[in-house]
Chain A
Amino acid sequence: MGDTAVVAGQIFNGISVGSILLLAALGLVLSFGVMKVINMAHGEMLMVGGYLSYLTFHHAHGPLALPAAMLVSFVGATLLGAILDLTIIRHLYGRPLDTLIVTWGISLIFQQGARSLFGAIGVDVTAPQWLQNSISINHGLLAGVDLPYVRLFIIGVALVVLAVVALCIGRTRWGTMLRAVHQDREMAAALGVNTHLIDLAVFALGTGIAGLAGSVLALIAPVTPTVGQSYIVYAFLVVIVGGPGSLIGAALAALCVGLFSATAQIFTSVSLSDVFLLVAVILFIQFRPKGIVATHSRLLEDA
């Protein structure tokens, strides 16, 4: 395996990690960016998605089991998000610190709930047969590079989700209303936009994407009551670096973070590359406090 192949392999790993981070963070981009709700329970929505896909795999078999699991996780988490918004989140609107504490409490309740329902030990979700292989390059400059199907699949899912969300926001009437609320809540309300309904849709969509992400990530990571905790920090990192509320920013940030840690890990260990990553993010925020893509929103200026 030559140097070129090592670098190419790490670039692929970086893109793969970036796609995982993007999936984990997309929901937060919406709820944090548009609603300014600091959703600490976002990781638990991923966890719920993982358990829902475990339940689906339990009942469905064959090649369609995975798409079914993804659908069930998305719908289940969307409903859960809608219930959370209607019962709790909407009463805390405009109080970001309170949402932080309340959603943290919700995350604890969800973790204990999963522990009581499924046991403290995780459940076992394995990738279907058609994903358990990889493309190996055996000749030429890139000999030795290996592209696992599962990772390619996750990159694909991340791109599709990103495209669908971008289309929804950029090309639909609902998206226009969402952008209006994002830019100036009062004015949008004065012009007849039902901001409550938009908030509900945004929050539910955000948790739904998290659920979908959870079902996909279960293919390469464990499904345990506390698994959400291992994604939440990186998800917030992506949102902050990308600029809250910006899809393009989030995508670029996820890619940068992924490539950064993959490159750093050629030279150093995982723990140290995490240290470098956090230092780099702190420095970056000093120069661009609003992230890669600064969105112009009066809502954010108020904070």
Chain B
Amino acid sequence: MSFSSKVLVVRIKAICVLATILTIAVSTVDLRPVMAQGGGTVKVGVLQSLTGTMAISEVPVKDATIFAIDQVNAEGGVLGKKIEPVIEDGASDPAIFAQKAQKLIQEDKVVTVFGGWTSASRKAMLPVFERFHNLLWYPVQFEGNECSSNIMYSGAQPNQQILPALQWGFEKGYRKYFLLGSDYVFPRTANLILKKHIAHDGGQIVGEEYEPLGGTDFSSIITKIRLARPDVIFNTLNGDSNVSFFKQMAAAGLPPSKIPVMSFSIAEQEAKAMGTQLVTDSYAAWNYFESLNNPMNKKFLAAYHKKFPNSAMDDPMVHGYIDVLMWAAAVKKANSFDPNAVRKAATDLAWGNSVMGSIKFAPNQSLYQTAYVGKLQPDGQFSILWQSKQPLFPQPYDPQVFPGKNCVVH
């Protein structure tokens, strides 16, 4: 090979490489969400953990989301198109959630995504939705302290679950509070907020303890509870640790009927899995209970149990269900699938009646909703003891803990 032809080959190679780089660059630079799609269907993403530790909680939310999509399709779809769900597995891993979110938006060209459970998964997906100007519907109660225009937060903010429970506690005459949680971001932030409010309202914190995630030994914590003699325990333990805690409390002669326990992560589903007998008489605060007595809820439960006969229904599942209905209503109002138009239309929707009571998206893209406090009965259902006087305005930033911070979406 002569010298010149060698140069030529090098040049051709260089051009090829350059062309490849350009192609990749162009394909990733294409950030426009798809406005309209042919074929009479519109694709939406459903992204939950179908495997791994979180699958217990997230698979039922996925089922409820698909149930809502089927319901909207049965009523004719939206803007004349059927909704086609693209289901992806977040595998209980925040990095995979981010990766799958990008795949749904870029490859499947979905117009919106329903999903996420842990705060870690939401935090991982947030930059993806902001970069691609898409929209995530997040169905789970969380610790607040976050505000993105690319997320619709339908799960409770702290002032819609934790603080109403505290209000209920004060109304009941409880003054001495023991805070117990798993050692990660949600319990720590929740307790930060609780401590400020308990002190402000003249209550007393007689203990604050954290168990490592998945921890099974509570012997020393129970001694501390015995010493502190609280009026009530506010419990933000997560997952299996709850089973150990309640078993060992019962063994120590302190079942929930002796020392009241208010739990923030035990819904109908978890109570059933733990063995109802173990947690009977403990309290929970949510924005939905299966036992809510309204005709819409009864009709919904009948239809749902026809499809999933053995499934319990709980708060996050209902939020997953409602998110789809709200999205469909917003698309109709905007007359477009464009995420930007949809999220604006969603906050403009009028007050509507739902299985969990009267709801509306506030301008900060979180949901106005009613808080309920229930007591677990031996049959696995909560009897509702208390509810907030009206649907509560969602506050991502607690004014006492994060003074001066405000959530304004653009």
The reply to whether the CB of A138 lies closer than 8 angstroms to some CB of chain B is no
Proximity string of chain A (5-39) to chain B, C-beta cutoff 8 Å, 1 when within and 0 when not: 01001100100110010000000000000000000
Shortest Cβ distance from A265 into B: residue: B220
What's the Cα separation between A219 and B275 when bound, in Å? 13
Is B210 touching A271 in the complex (CB atoms < 8 A)?
A: yes
Q: How far is the CB of A53 from chain B (nearest CB, A)?
A: 14
Is B220 touching A13 in the complex (CB atoms < 8 A)?
A: yes
The reply to whether the CB of A270 lies closer than 8 angstroms to some CB of chain B is yes
The reply to whether the CB of A144 lies closer than 8 angstroms to some CB of chain B is yes
Give the interface segment out of B191-199, B221-229, B401-409. Answer: B221-229
Known contacts A6-B223, A229-B214, A230-B214; A221 and B244 CB within 8 A of each other: yes
Chain B residues within 8 Å of A133, by CB: 253
Q: Which of B41-63 contact A (CB under 8 A)?
A: 53, 55-56, 59
The reply to whether the CB of B350 lies closer than 8 angstroms to some CB of chain A is no
- Of A121, A126, A127, A149, which is in contact with the most chain B CB atoms at under 10 Å from its CB? A121
Chain A residues within 8 Å of B220, by CB: 10, 13, 261-262, 265-266, 270, 273
The reply to whether the CB of A182 lies closer than 8 angstroms to some CB of chain B is no
The reply to whether the CB of A42 lies closer than 8 angstroms to some CB of chain B is no
Is A271 touching B223 in the complex (CB atoms < 8 A)?
A: no
- Of A144, A221, A265, which is in contact with the most chain B CB atoms at under 10 Å from its CB? A221
Chain A residues within 8 Å of B273, by CB: 121-122, 124
The reply to whether the CB of B215 lies closer than 8 angstroms to some CB of chain A is yes
Proximity string of chain A (260-303) to chain B, C-beta cutoff 8 Å, 1 when within and 0 when not: 01100110011101100000000000000000000000000000
Partner of B217, one of A17, A127, A227, A269: A17
Is B247 touching A120 in the complex (CB atoms < 8 A)?
A: no
Interface residues of B, count at CB 8 A: 34
Is B212 touching A270 in the complex (CB atoms < 8 A)?
A: yes
The reply to whether the CB of B37 lies closer than 8 angstroms to some CB of chain A is no
Is B212 touching A1 in the complex (CB atoms < 8 A)?
A: no
What's the Cα separation between A229 and B215 when bound, in Å? 10
Chain B residues within 8 Å of A9, by CB: 223, 226
Chain A residues within 8 Å of B210, by CB: 269-271
Is A126 touching B275 in the complex (CB atoms < 8 A)?
A: yes
Is B183 touching A222 in the complex (CB atoms < 8 A)?
A: no
Proximity string of chain B (227-263) to chain A, C-beta cutoff 8 Å, 1 when within and 0 when not: 1000000000000100110011011110000000000
The reply to whether the CB of B278 lies closer than 8 angstroms to some CB of chain A is yes
The reply to whether the CB of A246 lies closer than 8 angstroms to some CB of chain B is no
The reply to whether the CB of A136 lies closer than 8 angstroms to some CB of chain B is yes
Interface residues of A, count at CB 8 A: 44
Known contacts A122-B273, A134-B252; A270 and B219 CB within 8 A of each other: no
Chain B residues within 8 Å of A270, by CB: 183, 209-212, 215, 217, 220-221
The reply to whether the CB of A113 lies closer than 8 angstroms to some CB of chain B is no
Chain A residues within 8 Å of B211, by CB: 270
Partner of A122, one of B227, B243, B248: B243
Q: How far is the CB of A142 from chain B (nearest CB, A)?
A: 13
The reply to whether the CB of A220 lies closer than 8 angstroms to some CB of chain B is yes
Proximity string of chain A (128-171) to chain B, C-beta cutoff 8 Å, 1 when within and 0 when not: 00011110100000001010111100000000000000000000
Chain A residues within 8 Å of B226, by CB: 1, 9, 144, 146
Q: How far is the CB of A293 from chain B (nearest CB, A)?
A: 25
Chain A residues within 8 Å of B212, by CB: 270-271, 274
Known contacts A226-B53, A229-B214; A127 and B223 CB within 8 A of each other: no
- Of B219, B251, B253, which is in contact with the most chain A CB atoms at under 10 Å from its CB? B219
The reply to whether the CB of B95 lies closer than 8 angstroms to some CB of chain A is no
Shortest Cβ distance from A144 into B: residue: B226
The reply to whether the CB of B20 lies closer than 8 angstroms to some CB of chain A is no
The reply to whether the CB of B216 lies closer than 8 angstroms to some CB of chain A is yes
What's the Cα separation between A262 and B221 when bound, in Å? 10
What's the Cα separation between A134 and B244 when bound, in Å? 17
Chain B residues within 8 Å of A1, by CB: 226-227
What's the Cα separation between A226 and B210 when bound, in Å? 21
Partner of B251, one of A10, A148, A266: A148
Is B278 touching A124 in the complex (CB atoms < 8 A)?
A: yes
Chain A residues within 8 Å of B275, by CB: 124, 126
Chain A residues within 8 Å of B219, by CB: 13, 16-17, 151, 262
Q: How far is the CB of A166 from chain B (nearest CB, A)?
A: 26
The reply to whether the CB of A224 lies closer than 8 angstroms to some CB of chain B is yes
Chain B residues within 8 Å of A229, by CB: 214
Is A222 touching B223 in the complex (CB atoms < 8 A)?
A: no
Q: How far is the CB of B368 from chain A (nearest CB, A)?
A: 32
Chain A residues within 8 Å of B209, by CB: 269-270
Is A222 touching B251 in the complex (CB atoms < 8 A)?
A: no
Chain B residues within 8 Å of A121, by CB: 56, 273
Chain A residues within 8 Å of B248, by CB: 148, 220
Chain B residues within 8 Å of A231, by CB: 216
Q: How far is the CB of B15 from chain A (nearest CB, A)?
A: 47
Known contacts A17-B217, A222-B243, A227-B240; A126 and B251 CB within 8 A of each other: no
Is A222 touching B227 in the complex (CB atoms < 8 A)?
A: no
Known contacts A1-B227, A148-B253, A270-B221; A222 and B55 CB within 8 A of each other: no
Known contacts A10-B223, A270-B220; A146 and B253 CB within 8 A of each other: yes
What's the Cα separation between A224 and B226 when bound, in Å? 28
Is A122 touching B223 in the complex (CB atoms < 8 A)?
A: no
Query: Could you list 9 further interchain pairs (A-B, Cβ under 8 angstroms) beyond the known A126-B278, A146-B253, A148-B253?
Result: A1-B226, A20-B217, A121-B56, A134-B252, A220-B248, A226-B214, A230-B214, A231-B216, A269-B210
Residues of A within 8 A of B (CB): 1, 6, 9-10, 13, 16-17, 20, 120-122, 124, 126-127, 131-134, 136, 144, 146, 148-151, 219-222, 224, 226-227, 229-231, 261-262, 265-266, 269-271, 273-274
By Cβ-Cβ distance, the 3 closest A-B pairs, closest first, are A124-B275, A222-B243, A265-B220
21 residue pairs bridging A and B, Cβ less than 8 Å apart: A9-B223, A13-B219, A13-B223, A122-B273, A122-B274, A124-B275, A126-B247, A126-B277, A149-B251, A221-B243, A222-B216, A224-B240, A226-B240, A227-B240, A230-B216, A261-B217, A262-B219, A266-B220, A269-B210, A270-B215, A271-B183
